[in-house]
Amino acid sequence: MCDFANAKTRTSSFTRLRGIILHFWLAYDHPFVDGNGRTARALFYWQMLHSGYWLFEFISISQFLRKAPAQYGTAFLHTETDENDLTYFIIHQAGIIRRALKELHDYVARKSSETRAWLNALQKHPELNYRQQALISHACATPDCL
């Protein structure tokens, strides 16, 4: 598994599949009493980040797997019962990744809209100088810093 995880490939499409394959492989082998799913997902994330897909630092596939565990189990079961044909699991995981990426894009769009709204609201207050507007903008963008 380590050799497979660290092997160099020439095509980026297989590099993306490698993370999904590693996820299945570890979950299938089930080497630990507890934590196999978390470890499989961590291995998936490591592979994606290691391959330069930095956006995976900001997405979560776990929440979608928790919401529909039967679909995950079905994809796993179909793979196991069809001579370990990974197509079922790959298609399922690709759908999960697509949903997670869409959620991230929606979040960024929502936060950008909120920021624009705050900036527009600040511009309607000419009594505030540039420093005051900058301070309020920063406070709105990072509420934990106050």
pLDDT in tens, 111-143: 889 888 878 888 788 888 888 888 887 777 776
pLDDT at position 140 is: 74
Residue labelled with tokens 């900036």: 119
Give the tokens for residue 48. Answer: 């994606």
What is the value of pTM for the model shown?
0.81
Amino acid, res. 132:
Q
Amino acid, res. 107:
Y
Residues in contact with 82: Cβ distance below 8 Å, sequence separation at least 6, in sequence order? 88
pLDDT at position 22 is: 96
pLDDT > 70 in the chain, percent: 97
Task: Tell me the mean pLDDT in the region 62-80.
Answer: 94
